[in-house]
A and B are shown apart, each in its own frame.
Chain A
Amino acid sequence: MELRRDYFADVRKDGLHEIGQPRPRLDSPGHVTGKTAYFADRNFPGMLHLKMVRSPHHHARIRSIDTSEAEKHPGVVRVLTAKDVPHNVYTILILIQIGPEDETVLADGKVRWKGEAVVAVLAETERAAQEAAAKVKVDYEVLPAVFDMEEALKPGAPLVNEYHGQNYYLYDSGECRKVRFGDVEAGFAKADHILEQSYQSSPIEHAPTETTGCVVAPEGNDRFTCYTNTQAMFFTLDNTSIILQMPGNKLHFVGGTVGGGFGGKVDVIVEPIAILGAKLTGRPVSFIYSREEEMQISSPRAAEKVVIKDGVMKDGRIVARKVTGYTDAGAYSRHSPYGAQKGAGHYPGPYTVPNVWIDTYCVYTNRTPSSAMRGFGVTIGDFALEVQMDKLARLIGMDPLEFRFINAYRDGDMKAHRQPTEGAALIECMQEASRAANWPVAEKYMAMSSYRKGA
């Protein structure tokens, strides 16, 4: 690895000791000896196994649930339904006042996606729990479902989530997050070319090698220790405290060692129900997703649709950019209202555009609830923006890298969000990329700087 000291030489202090030096990872000795303790490496005598009975339908009313046969099954210790959960309707972002509470820990009267948790079975062995789960009888009345965001936003579409009342998240700004800067229509009017394109992505699963789960041990004094691989420790603790109506000081969360997260494992899904099981049985409880559950049940990155309309001049300047983003939350909010908002914060990308219009929608459908994944709300947007940049460059017959130099944001530029740009380094990254990739650009671009204005 080479540290290029010529960039920002006059604004950087040069006493770097760690950067550019290999340093051993603190956790590697545990990894290579097999000693690192992941949550599932905790095992307690008398531990029960939790298996979930899940909805086979995308959208259905629950007429009745009969757990009597399951309860009689050998090895079964307890069967949980919605009525056992103290505060069954929750939403994780309520901690930062983003409501309404819109999701059930265990389905109550309705299921809104295929795979939704309906009944939890606690048994002495995994096998007994699986066999008993197969004996739970749920009578469903199947309802029409909607899987496409544009369909969901049409009048008359099936209502996915009654707690919202419409198939989009209602921000304080209205039906979407909005950014308005300059006069985008005036920009289009004076542009030499207009290019409008739409981009779409499918949900993406993180697929960590270690599946989502937790192991809970009841301690004395009504206290519970929860070994978990959540990447959102305090978030999970606080939400569990709300769901179980239990003061936080009764909950001891142990974690931080995660067998692959990739920005997921932040939904409060396994811990509350496992702790409830431990509380109601007085026994340790293990709830670990199977590989199939990890793939089908854990939240993926949201599917997105991004429509970008740009006005561009022959000389390469983008004079107007209008972006409409749609984030498919699936049936419940989880982190998606925040994800859609991040999109609004991220467009129009690392470029200085004088006229900008951004709308981002968080849409509900009967798909698996989506949530966080590395750079959610941003990554798909970047894919769309950069493909759009290439298309624009081609449209005006310009080198795609030079086209980006012309539009790159630099220190002091006013961003669409009315924040002056600080600490930009896009120009320098592109200069280095141009060298590394052997993709020469005109000398005037190589002489540019993010720090000092002008070429």
Chain B
Amino acid sequence: MAKVPVQFTLNGSEKAEFIESGTTLLHALRDKIGDTSPKGGCHQGTCGACSVIIDGELRLSCLTLAETCSGADIKTTAGLAEGGVLHPLQRAFLDAFATQCGFCTPGMIMAAKVLLDRTPNPSREDVVEALSGNICRCTGYEPIVQAVLTAARANSQNAA
């Protein structure tokens, strides 16, 4: 089996691995690099639990081949807290009871992060749209939508 090199930045640190050609980014992150925060819920692109941010864009790591990410800047939920301080989205998810089983949470937070990075003051519709590729089977979504809106407010208050 031919191994190929991949090299990218993951949450700010350089990673280099030899992987089997055709390996998905999800497998490379979880099984090779050991970042298990992206989850494999369907491997079909439907559940969004594997969502990561690649060069500032939300992507499904289960449908992305790792080799196509060489040189990319990849962010996952595992790298969001800085110096042990939770990101406002993480804080808001905690406070709003936006997690139950937790399996969708890392993907939800990634989807919410790209939204807030581009749209700091989103409407409720913006939030619903931004999360529309992520499935949660526990919460009924409302606490998650509220958490994202709360995080946006916290952000804009900090900025002001």
Contacting A260 at CB < 8 Å: which of B20, B90, B138? Answer: B138
When distances are taken between beta carbons in the complex, the residues of chain A under 8 Å from B40 are 40
Contact A290 B47 (CB under 8 A): no
A291 at the interface (CB under 8 A from B): yes
Could you tell me the distance between the alpha carbons of A291 and B35 in the complex, rounded to whole angstroms? 22
Contact A210 B80 (CB under 8 A): no
When distances are taken between beta carbons in the complex, the residues of chain A under 8 Å from B10 are none
Contact B93 A209 (CB under 8 A): no
When distances are taken between beta carbons in the complex, the residues of chain B under 8 Å from A291 are 41-44, 46-47
Of B66-74, B99-107, B115-123, B125-133, which binds chain A?
Answer: B99-107
Contact A36 B102 (CB under 8 A): yes
Contact A33 B99 (CB under 8 A): no
Contact B41 A25 (CB under 8 A): no
A222 at the interface (CB under 8 A from B): no
When distances are taken between beta carbons in the complex, the residues of chain B under 8 Å from A43 are 30-31, 34
When distances are taken between beta carbons in the complex, the residues of chain B under 8 Å from A40 are 36, 39-40
When distances are taken between beta carbons in the complex, the residues of chain A under 8 Å from B104 are 209
Contact A33 B80 (CB under 8 A): yes
Distance in Å from the Cβ of A291 to the closest Cβ of chain B? 4
Distance in Å from the Cβ of B32 to the closest Cβ of chain A? 9
Query: Which of the four size classes fits the interface of chain B?
Result: 35 or more
Contacting B102 at CB < 8 Å: which of A22, A207, A259? Answer: A259
Given A34-B77, A38-B39, A210-B39: A260 and B86 within 8 A (CB)? no
Could you tell me the distance between the alpha carbons of A208 and B43 in the complex, rounded to whole angstroms? 14
Tell me the chain A residues, 12-71 only, with Cβ under 8 Å from chain B: 22, 24-25, 27-38, 40-41, 43
Q: Give the number of chain A interface residues (Cβ < 8 Å).
A: 32
Distance in Å from the Cβ of B12 to the closest Cβ of chain A? 15
Contact B90 A33 (CB under 8 A): yes
A211 at the interface (CB under 8 A from B): yes
Residue of B nearest to A206 (CB): B137
When distances are taken between beta carbons in the complex, the residues of chain B under 8 Å from A147 are none
When distances are taken between beta carbons in the complex, the residues of chain A under 8 Å from B34 are 43
A312 at the interface (CB under 8 A from B): no
Could you tell me the distance between the alpha carbons of A30 and B35 in the complex, rounded to whole angstroms? 14
Given A33-B80, A34-B77: A28 and B102 within 8 A (CB)? yes
Distance in Å from the Cβ of B145 to the closest Cβ of chain A? 16
Could you tell me the distance between the alpha carbons of A125 and B38 in the complex, rounded to whole angstroms? 20
List the 4 shortest-distance A-B pairs measured between CB atoms, nearest first: A34-B37, A31-B102, A259-B103, A41-B36
Given contacts A28-B102, A207-B137, A261-B101, 6 further A-B contacts (CB under 8 A): A33-B77, A38-B36, A40-B39, A43-B34, A209-B135, A291-B46
In the complex, 7 of the A-B residue pairs with CB atoms within 8 angstroms, ordered by the A residue number, are A31-B93, A32-B89, A33-B37, A34-B106, A43-B30, A209-B101, A259-B103
Residues of chain A at the chain B interface (Cβ within 8 Å):
22, 24-25, 27-38, 40-41, 43, 125, 206-211, 258-262, 290-291
